[in-house]
Chains A and B, each alone.
Chain A
Amino acid sequence: MRILGPLYMAFCAVLLALPIAVVCGAALNGGRSMFFPPRDPTLARFGEFFVSEPVWTQALLNSVVVAVGAATLAVLLAWPVAYLLWSTGSKLSRTLAALGSMPFAVPPIVFGVGLGFFWGFLGGLGTIWAGVVSHAVLLMALPLVTISIGLQSIDRSHLDAAATMGATESVTFRTVILPQTIPYTISGFFFVLVLSFNEFIVMFFVSASGFATVTLQIFNSLRNGYTPTMAVAAITFIGVSVLVFSAVARWGDLPRLMGADQSRN
C-alpha cells in the first residue's frame, strides 16, 4: 500500500500528461503533417504561430481580447453579487447568485444556442464584444465562488472593531474588506481568463464565423487535417494555464479555494 499509492498517483499524472506531451512533441515537426515522435524537428512553427501567419496571429489576438475582457467583466459582475450575498444574505441576493451561476452549471451547448439567438436578435452575432460579454456571463460563476470564499474568510470582529472606531461603510469597505479579498478576486479573474482562453462551444455559436479565436481556428482546421502550427497553439495555451495556476498556487491558497479543511495543515 505504501508503494502502491504514489505509484497510482504517478500513473494518473502520466496518463493526464500523455496527450499534452504528444501535442507538444508534434509541434516540433518539420513537415506539414503531424507525426509522433516528430520528424525533422524544428522551431519554425513557433514563428508561424506568433509572427508570420496572419490567420493565427489574428486568432491569438482575438483570444487575448476575449479572455481579458471577459475576465474583467466577470469580476465586475460577480463582485456586487458576492458582496450583496455576503452582507445581506437576502433572498434577492441568493436568487441573483443562483441565476448568475446557472449558465456555468448547465451543458454549455444549451447556453451557446441561447446566446446565438440572443445576439442574433440584438445584432451582436459575430462581433467580438458579444463574445466578450458571452464569456463573462458564462464564467461569472467562478469569481462569484472565489470572492464569496474570500468574503467569508473575513473575521467579523474586524468589522465590528472598524464600526466601533467610527468607520463608515465605505471606509470599512476600502480598509478592511477590499484588501482581504484581493487575492481571491485575482484568483477568480485568472480562472475566468484561462477558461475563456480554452472555451470552445459557446464561442462557436456566438462567433457565427464572424471572427475566430485560437480554439475556433483549430477546430476549423480540423477537417483539413492537423498541422504542427496548431500544436504550437496548444503548447502556448498549456503554458499559460500552468503559469496562471502555479501563480495562484504560489501566492493564493489553492487548497482553501478548492475547499480543503482549514483545521488541518
Chain B
Amino acid sequence: MTAVERIAADTADRPARERLTPRRILPWLLSAVIGVLCVVPFLLVIAISFGRKIEGAAWVWDFTLENYERFFVGALWPDEVTFLYLQQLGFSFWYAVVASLLAVMTALPFTLLLTGLSRRAQAAWLAFILSSLSLSEVFIVMGWDILLSNNSGLPALFKSTGLTQWLKDVGWFQTLRDWGLASPRNVKFKTSQFATILTMSYLVWPYAVILLFPALSRLDRSQSEAARTMGAGGWTVARTVILPAIRLPLFGSTLLLFVFLLGTYVAVTVFAAPAQHTTAVAIYTNIRGANLNAPFGATQAVILLISAGVCLGLGHRLNRWAEAR
C-alpha cells in the first residue's frame, strides 16, 4: 500500500464518502473532456471518409466505399485503372523513409559524442537543439528556400566562385543534369527530390538527437572501454559493441521520425515538383484547396493514419521489447 493509497483510504473512511467529492468526479470529467477533444476529431475523419461528395455542392453523410476504391484503383474503375493516389502515398513513404534514415544515421554519431560530454555542456547543446527543433516548418523551409533558390543562395555561389565551370570542365555537370539537379546553365536545386529530402531530414534531425539521447546516455561505457583495452579500433567498437546494444531504440526512433514526416506539407509544396507531391498535399487540396472534396480528403487522411498507426505500433512493440531485455 503506497502512502497515497493509505491517505486515500483514510479519507474514504470518513462520512464524506457518499458525497460527490472532486476525487470521484475528476476521472469522469477528464474522460469526457479527453474523449471529446482527442478522440472525436479522429472519429469524424473516419466517419466522413465514407461520405459522398455532391457535384457542385458540399458533401453528405453516407456509407460508401467509393472513396477508398478511388484511392486504390482510381475513379473510373473498373473501366480504367489509375494509381495516381497510390503513387502519391508512395512519394510520402519514399521521402519519409529516406529523410528519416538520413537523419538518424547522421544524428547517431553526434548524440554518441554528446552523451560523452559534461552535464553542463549537455544542457547547453540540448537547449540549442531544442530551439532548432521547435523552429516552425515554415521558417526552416524559408531558410532552405533562400539557400537553394536559383537567384540567390548556393546556385549563385556556385556560379560566382567558378564551381559551376569547374563541374562542367570535369564532366560532372552532365551527371547532375541527369539527376535533375542542373539546368543547362547552372546547378538547380528547386524543384528536386534532393531539396525535399534534405529539408525534411533537417526538419527531424533535432528530434532524432532527442529520441536517441536517453538510450545512448544509458549505454554502458565500460563495455566499449573493455573492447578498446582488448585492442579493438573505434570502428570495431561501434560495430560490435555499441550498435547491437542500441539496435532497437535506433529502429524505434527511425520509425517515429518516419511517421512524423508522413504528414509533411510545407516542405513538399515548396521543394517537390507537382508530379511528385505527396498524400499530405492531396489531403489539403481536397479539403481546403481547389477540389473541395472533403470525403475523399478524409479517406486519404485515414489511409495516412492507418500507415502511421501500423508503424507506431510496431515501433512501440520494439521499444518495449528492447526495454524488457
B89 within 8 A of A: no
Q: From residue 278 to 325 of chain B, which have CB atoms closer than 8 A to chain A?
A: 280, 283-284, 287-288, 294, 297-298, 301, 304-305, 308-309, 312
A92 within 8 A of B: yes
Kindly supply a per-residue 1/0 record for chain A positions 224-245, scoring 1 wherever the CB is within 8 Å of any chain B CB and 0 otherwise: 0010001100100110011001
Complex formed: what's the CA distance from A246 to B134 in Å?
Answer: 13
Complex formed: what's the CA distance from A117 to B259 in Å?
Answer: 23
Residues of B within 8 A of A114 (CB): 40-42, 44-45, 301
Residues of A within 8 A of B265 (CB): 109, 200-201, 204
Complex formed: what's the CA distance from A102 to B205 in Å?
Answer: 22
Kindly supply a per-residue 1/0 record for chain A positions 78-122, scoring 1 wherever the CB is within 8 Å of any chain B CB and 0 otherwise: 001100100100001100100110110111111101111110010
Kindly supply a per-residue 1/0 record for chain A positions 242-258, scoring 1 wherever the CB is within 8 Å of any chain B CB and 0 otherwise: 10011011100011001
Residues of A within 8 A of B205 (CB): 16
Q: Contact between A198 and B114 (Cβ–Cβ < 8 Å)?
A: no
Q: Contact between A215 and B138 (Cβ–Cβ < 8 Å)?
A: yes
User: Which one, A18-26, A46-54, A178-186, is touching chain B?
Assistant: A18-26
Of B48, B110, B131, the residue contacting A242 (CB under 8 A) is B131
A64 within 8 A of B: no
> Which size bracket describes the interface of A in this complex?
35 or more
Residues of A within 8 A of B110 (CB): 8-9, 12
A163 within 8 A of B: yes
Complex formed: what's the CA distance from A110 to B38 in Å?
Answer: 12
Give A98 Cβ to nearest chain B Cβ, in Å. 10
Could you say which of A16, A172, A264 has the most chain B C-beta atoms within 10 Å of its C-beta? Answer: A16
Q: From residue 1 to 58 of chain A, which have CB atoms closer than 8 A to chain B?
A: 1, 5-6, 8-9, 12-13, 15-20, 22-23, 26, 34-36
Q: Contact between B106 and A234 (Cβ–Cβ < 8 Å)?
A: no
Q: Contact between B122 and A255 (Cβ–Cβ < 8 Å)?
A: yes
A65 within 8 A of B: no
Closest-by-CB residue of B relative to A7 is B113
Kindly supply a per-residue 1/0 record for chain B positions 38-58, scoring 1 wherever the CB is within 8 Å of any chain A CB and 0 otherwise: 111110110010000000000
B274 within 8 A of A: no
Q: Contact between A255 and B217 (Cβ–Cβ < 8 Å)?
A: yes
Instruction: Spell out A's residues near B (CB within 8 Å).
Output: 1, 5-6, 8-9, 12-13, 15-20, 22-23, 26, 34-36, 77, 80-81, 84, 87, 92-93, 96, 99-100, 102-103, 105-111, 113-118, 121, 133, 137, 140, 156, 159-160, 162-163, 167-169, 172, 194-195, 197-201, 204-205, 208, 215, 218-219, 222, 226, 230-231, 234, 237-238, 241-242, 245-246, 248-250, 254-255, 258-261, 264-265
21 contacts between A and B (CB under 8 A): A13-B128, A16-B129, A77-B34, A81-B30, A84-B27, A92-B31, A109-B280, A109-B301, A113-B283, A156-B3, A159-B3, A168-B7, A168-B10, A197-B136, A201-B137, A219-B266, A226-B146, A237-B136, A249-B127, A255-B119, A260-B115
Instruction: Spell out B's residues near A (CB within 8 Å).
Output: 2-4, 6-8, 10-11, 26-27, 30-31, 33-35, 37-42, 44-45, 48, 106, 109-110, 113-116, 119, 122-124, 126-132, 134-140, 142-147, 152-153, 202, 205-206, 210, 213-214, 217-218, 234, 259-260, 262-263, 265-266, 270, 280, 283-284, 287-288, 294, 297-298, 301, 304-305, 308-309, 312
